[in-house]
Structure 1
Amino acid sequence: MAQHTPPAPRICPVCDGFATVAVTLGGRDPRGHLRTLTAHCPACQGTGTTPARRLREGAGA
């Protein structure tokens, strides 16, 4: 019997699927931990995928 494979999620064209990054601020805090800042992709809000085209354009289902 054939197995059905779900379609691959649509990867965000802005971040290419790397939706969240940690940027070092340089230096360490008094406890020795590296100081970082988390940044999310503004297009996909950190999910790495985009909704289907019809949903993005506002067309009804």
Structure 2
Amino acid sequence: MPQHAQITRVCRDCDGFATAAITTGTRRPDGSRAILRVTCSSCNGTGRTAPAGVVRAGR
């Protein structure tokens, strides 16, 4: 009997790639590159979004 996979909600801003490593182009004294790690501000670095809740309008 086939198993159904759970649907994971991927962040629409980062497409699941929540952290990016960006090189600055400079080198440290030991010869390695200086790298900045930047996380997605929408999902706070998780790569997933929470399911949309029920919105109630009016009274």
After TM superposition, the score normalised by the length of structure 2 is 0.78
Unaligned runs of at least 5 residues, structure 2: none
Give the count of matched residue pairs: 55
Unaligned runs of at least 5 residues, structure 1: none
> What is aligned with 1:13?
12
RMSD of aligned residue pairs (Cα, Å): 1.7
> What is aligned with 1:22?
21
After TM superposition, the score normalised by the length of structure 1 is 0.76
Of all paired residues, the percent bearing the same amino acid is 38
Runs of 4+ in 1 over 4 A off after TM superposition: none
For the pair shown, which has the larger CA radius of gyration, 1 or 2?
2
2:37 aligned with 1:44: no
Looking at structure 2, the residues matched to 5 and 37 of structure 1 have their Cα atoms a distance apart, in angstroms, of: 39
